[in-house]
Amino acid sequence: MRLKNKVTFITGGGQGIGRATALLFAREGGRVVVADINKSAADSVAAEIIAADGQALAVQVDVSRAESVEAAVAEAIQWGSRIDVLLNNAGITRDARLPKMTEAQWDAVINVNLKGVWLCGRAIAPHMIAQGSGSIINVSSIVGLYGNFGQSNYAATKAGVIAMAQTWARELGPSGVRSNAVAPGFIATELTTTIPEKITNGIKERTPLRRFGQPEELAQVYLFLASDDSSYINGTVIAVDGGLVW
C-alpha cells in the first residue's frame, strides 16, 4: 500500500475528482480527511471509505475563511496526530468575459481557488515542517498555463497556485516537505457536463486521445505525488490533459 498510515487532507473531497481521490487514497492505506464545504457530501464519502474497512474523517471547511480552515486542520490533527499529504483540490468557477465580469464573480473565485489554497498551506505547513516530511499538491489547470475565454478569474487563480507550489518547494524543501502542482485538462465530471456538445466535440478533436479524462486517472497522478514514489519531485507542474493542443 503506497500510502499506508499516511494522513491525507483533501479539500473538495466530497464529490467529483476529490471523491475519486479520497477513495483511491483509502484503498492505498491512507487515513483520509475528507474536507468539504458540503458536510453531508463529506460524510457520505467518509462513510463509503469506512464501509470498505478504511479510515476516514469528514470535516466541514470553507477554505476561503481562515478560522474555518484552522478549525478543520485542528480537528484533523486531533484525529490523525499528523498530516502527511495536503491536496488542495477545492475550486469554483464564475465565468464571464472581461467587460461583463463583476467584482463579486472575481472575488468569489479568488477567495476559494487562490486564497483558499494559501490558507490551507499556511495552516498545514507548520505540522509538516515539525515532522520533517510532507507532500503538498496544488490543483491547477491547463487554463492556468494557457488562459481560456471567459475565465480571467479562474485562469488567474490556477496560474497563481502553480507559483505558490513552486515557491513552497523552495521554502519548505529544506524541511523535507515537497510541493508540486498538477494541471488537469478536461476531466469527465459534473462540471464538464454543462459544456455545450459542439464545444465538447471540438475539445476532443484537439485532444490526441480523443476523449476527456476520468477522475480516477487524475487521482492516480495525485497518488503518485502523495506517495514516496515521487520522493525527488519538487516544484514541478504535471499536465494531465491527454496531449490537448490548446
For the residues 232-245, what does the mean pLDDT come to?
95
pLDDT bucket at 189, cuts 50 / 70 / 90: confident
Domain-embedded: residue 145: yes
Count of other CB atoms within 10 angstroms of residue 70: 15
For the residues 53-67, what does the mean pLDDT come to?
98
Host domain of residue 231: 7-236
Domain-embedded: residue 199: yes
Counting residues of the chain whose pLDDT is more than 70, the rounded percentage is 100
Task: Rounding to the nearest 10 degrees, give the CA dihedral for residues 61, 65, 67, 68.
Answer: -10
Q: Which residue has the cell 484552522?
A: 70
Domain-embedded: residue 224: yes
Counting residues of the chain whose pLDDT is more than 90, the rounded percentage is 95
Q: What was the pLDDT predicted at 191?
A: 72
Domain-embedded: residue 246: no
For the residues 44-66, what does the mean pLDDT come to?
98
Which residues lie across from 240 on neighbouring strands? 184
The predicted-structure confidence for 194-225, as pLDDT tens digits, reads as follows 788 888 999 999 999 999 999 999 999 999 99
Domain-embedded: residue 2: no
The predicted-structure confidence for 82-111, as pLDDT tens digits, reads as follows 999 999 999 999 999 999 999 999 999 999
| Identity of the amino acid at 151 | Q
pLDDT bucket at 177, cuts 50 / 70 / 90: very high
Give 3-state DSSP helix, strand, coil % of the chain, rounded to 5: 50, 15, 30
Domain-embedded: residue 133: yes
pLDDT bucket at 192, cuts 50 / 70 / 90: confident
Tell me how far apart the alpha carbons of residues 65 and 120 are, in angstroms, rounded to a whole number. Answer: 10
Among 159-173, 188-202, 226-240, name the one with the lowest average pLDDT.
Answer: 188-202
Q: What was the pLDDT predicted at 195?
A: 81
For the residues 54-59, what does the mean pLDDT come to?
98
pLDDT bucket at 240, cuts 50 / 70 / 90: very high
For the residues 225-243, what does the mean pLDDT come to?
97
pLDDT bucket at 227, cuts 50 / 70 / 90: very high
Active site members: 154
The predicted-structure confidence for 104-154, as pLDDT tens digits, reads as follows 999 999 999 999 999 999 999 999 999 999 999 999 999 999 999 999 999
**Average pLDDT score over the chain:** 96
pLDDT bucket at 245, cuts 50 / 70 / 90: confident
Tell me how far apart the alpha carbons of residues 187 and 22 are, in angstroms, rounded to a whole number. Answer: 17
CATH number at residue 126: 3.40.50.720
How many structural domains is the chain composed of? Answer: 1
Is pLDDT at 57 greater than 80 in this prediction? yes
Domain-embedded: residue 151: yes
Count of other CB atoms within 10 angstroms of residue 123: 22
Domain-embedded: residue 191: yes
